[in-house]
C-alpha cells in the first residue's frame, strides 16, 4: 500500500486550492461573457448611434436621456382587463410611449397617430416595437380612439409616478412628448413637443438597424 509523504501532501493542498480558484475564475468570466452577449445588440446600437454616428445623419432628432432611467420597479400599470402588472413586464421590445388623460384630445390623438405610423413604416421590424399610451386617469377611452389604435397598449398609470420617471423640459410636460424605451427597460430618448414624425421614424429605423447586429 502506497503512502503520501507529509511534503507531498503540503504540495498537493496549494495545487488543489489553485485549481479550485482557477475554476471559479473561469466560471465568473463565462457568466460575464454571457451577459455581454445578451446585452450586445443594445450596447452596439447606443455606441454606433451616439459615438460612431451612422451614415445619413450626424445627430439624432430625439434627445438622449442621460443618465439612464430604468423603468421603476414600483411603477405598475392597469390594462383594459383590470389586471395590474409592472410596467417593466413590457421589457424585451422597444417602447414608444405617450402620456395623456383618457379623454384623449386632439394633441393626444396626434401623438398616438404618429406612434402608430412610425411603427407601421418599420416593415418586418415593426414587431420589435410596441406603442404604449399611459393613461393618467380612470375615465373611459372614447370608442373612436379605441378602434383607431387597437394595437396600442392603453394602460392606466399613476401620473405622479410617471412624471417622476419621464423627464420633460423647462417649458414642457411629460404629456407633450413621445418617449422611447430600449428593450432592457431603460428610458433612452425624448422626442420634441409637436414632433416631426418623419424624423422620429429616422431615429427609430437607425436604432432598430444597429440593435439587430450581433
Q: How many structural domains are present in the chain?
A: 2
Kindly state whether residue 213 falls inside one of the protein's structural domains: no
Q: Are residues 176 and 203 in the same domain?
A: yes
Kindly state whether residue 214 falls inside one of the protein's structural domains: no
Kindly state whether residue 199 falls inside one of the protein's structural domains: yes
Q: Are residues 112 and 37 in the same domain?
A: no
Quote the pLDDT of residue 65: 94
Q: Are residues 71 and 41 in the same domain?
A: no
Residue 8 structural domain? 1-52
Q: Are residues 123 and 142 in the same domain?
A: yes
pLDDT in tens, 143-202: 999 999 999 999 999 999 999 999 999 999 999 999 999 999 999 999 999 999 999 999
- For residue 101, the 8-state DSSP code is -
pLDDT in tens, 48-88: 444 445 454 557 899 999 988 999 999 999 998 899 999 99
Domain of 134, CATH number, reads 3.40.30.10
Tell me which long-range contacts 132-136 makes (C-beta under 8 A, separation of at least 24). Answer: 132/90, 132/95, 132/96, 132/97, 132/98, 133/97, 133/98, 133/99, 133/100, 134/77, 134/97, 134/98, 134/99, 134/100, 134/162, 135/100, 135/101, 135/102, 136/99, 136/100, 136/101, 136/102, 136/162, 136/175
pLDDT in tens, 106-145: 999 999 999 999 999 999 999 999 999 999 999 999 999 9
Domain final residue pick, 52, 70, 85: 52
Kindly state whether residue 24 falls inside one of the protein's structural domains: yes
Kindly state whether residue 114 falls inside one of the protein's structural domains: yes
Q: Are residues 105 and 161 in the same domain?
A: yes
Q: Are residues 26 and 72 in the same domain?
A: no
With 0.85 as the threshold, say if the pTM is over it: no
Q: Are residues 90 and 167 in the same domain?
A: yes
Amino acid at each position: 500500500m502506497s503512502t503520501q509523504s507529509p511534503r507531498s501532501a503540503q504540495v498537493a493542498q496549494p495545487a488543489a486550492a489553485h485549481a479550485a480558484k482557477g475554476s471559479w475564475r473561469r466560471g465568473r468570466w463565462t457568466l460575464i461573457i454571457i451577459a455581454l452577449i445578451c446585452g450586445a445588440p443594445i450596447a452596439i446600437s447606443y455606441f454606433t448611434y451616439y459615438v460612431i454616428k451612422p451614415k445619413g445623419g450626424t445627430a439624432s432628432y430625439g434627445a438622449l436621456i442621460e443618465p439612464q432611467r430604468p423603468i421603476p420597479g414600483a411603477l405598475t400599470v392597469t390594462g383594459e382587463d383590470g389586471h395590474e402588472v409592472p410596467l417593466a413586464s413590457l421589457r424585451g421590445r422597444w417602447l414608444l410611449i405617450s402620456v395623456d388623460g383618457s379623454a384623449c384630445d386632439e394633441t393626444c390623438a396626434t401623438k398616438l397617430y404618429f406612434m402608430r405610423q412610425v411603427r407601421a413604416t418599420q416593415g418586418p421590424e415593426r414587431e420589435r416595437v410596441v406603442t404604449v399610451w399611459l393613461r393618467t386617469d380612470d375615465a373611459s377611452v372614447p370608442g373612436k380612439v379605441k378602434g383607431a389604435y387597437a394595437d396600442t397598449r392603453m394602460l392606466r398609470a399613476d401620473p405622479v409616478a410617471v412624471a417622476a420617471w419621464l423627464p420633460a423640459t423647462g417649458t414642457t410636460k411629460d404629456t407633450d412628448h413621445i418617449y422611447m424605451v430600449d428593450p432592457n427597460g431603460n428610458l433612452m430618448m425624448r422626442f420634441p413637443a409637436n414632433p416631426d414624425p418623419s424624423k422620429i421614424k429616422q431615429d427609430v429605423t437607425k436604432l432598430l438597424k444597429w440593435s439587430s447586429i450581433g
